[in-house]
Amino acid sequence: MIAATPERYQLKSLHEDISLMDRKLAHLQNFEVFATNDLRDAALRKMHTRRETLVKKARVLRDEGIEFLPSEIPLSLRTETEIVARQNAEEQPVPPSAAIPIDQHRRSA
């Protein structure tokens, strides 16, 4: 069993915060109404700066060797090969031998 350290939870929290910032940035770009484009650009720069600070902290923890699950990495920080590998894993059908027959499922319930 892997011993969970506070740094591991801190890295997980940073990854969650980065994902939240990504969603906030997308909302600002697509749905938020601003009086001028300058105000929109200022808000986007401010949010992007906050996100970059979180990304730098997460990279420092990763470089220090803090363990994490690959599924915890925000989509925006994943490499192209990680994204393709995850999509391929999700698209693979369940083999018939792994499926539980309906009769057995009803009996166990």
pLDDT tens digit string along 25-81?
A: 999 999 999 999 999 999 999 999 999 999 999 999 999 999 888 888 898 888 776
Structural domains in the chain (count): 1
Does any domain span residue 60? Answer: yes
CA distance 44 to 17: 16
Cα separations (Å) of 73 from 14, 59, 67? 9, 11, 12
Range of the domain at 22: 1-65
Residue 99 is assigned to a structural domain of this protein: no
Q: What pLDDT shows up at residue 7? A: 82
Query: How many angstroms from the chain centroid is the CA of residue 38?
Result: 30
Residue 3 maps to a domain: yes
If residue 77 lies in a helix (H) or strand (E), which one and from where to where? none
Closest C-alpha to 25, from 80, 84, 75:
75
Whether 74 maps to a domain, the answer reads: no
Return the pLDDT at 92. 66
Q: Which of 28, 25, 23 is nearest to 40 (CA)?
A: 28
pTM of the predicted structure, to 2 decimals: 0.68
> Considering the domain boundaries, does residue 79 fall inside one?
no
pLDDT at residue 88 in the model: 67
Q: Bigger pLDDT: 101 or 81? A: 81
